[in-house]
Amino acid sequence: MDIKNFPFPVKRALKKFGYDLRDARKRRRITMQLVAERASISRTTLSKIENGDDGVSLGAYAKVLFALGMIERLVELADPKFDSLGLGLEADNLPKRIHISKKEKGK
């Protein structure tokens, strides 16, 4: 897949993410310049992030989360405890019965 041909749901998610980061910055009453400085990125890159630009690196998005005091959300992003599909598939693969060998019974 060509890197510029992102699926529509990915583009939509990045747009929402960017808008949410903008809202978080505004709720904190922090200027774009200050967030950009704290994140060690340019104001132009921050503007791209807040617009959900799919060409900006995940690292830059992470720096903005850190600058806003929200980095713990990134840590939880793919945490297995929030992966209901994966947990369900894992549960389907559990053995139906547990057999204890005669050796283990004697212990």
Reported as a single tens digit per residue, the pLDDT across 17-30 is 999 999 999 999 99
Residue 40 lies in a domain: yes
Q: What is the pLDDT of residue 1?
A: 40
Residue 103 lies in a domain: no
Residue 21 lies in a domain: yes
Give the span between the Cα atoms of 74 and 84, in whole angstroms.
18
Please provide residue 33's backbone torsions phi and psi, each rounded to the nearest 5 degrees: -60, -45
Residue 64 lies in a domain: yes
The domain total for the chain is 1
Residue 104 lies in a domain: no
The residue whose two tokens read 């209901």 is: 84
- Residue 13 sits in a domain whose CATH number is 1.10.260.40
Taking alpha carbons only, the member of 57, 66, 55 closest to residue 24 is: 66
Average pLDDT, the chain: 89
Give the span between the Cα atoms of 35 and 24, in whole angstroms.
11
Q: How confident is the model at residue 2 (pLDDT cuts 50, 70, 90)?
A: very low
Owning domain of residue 85:
8-92
The residue whose two tokens read 């132009």 is: 44
Which 3 state secondary structure label does DSSP give 4?
Answer: coil
Amino acid at 23: D
Residue 2 lies in a domain: no
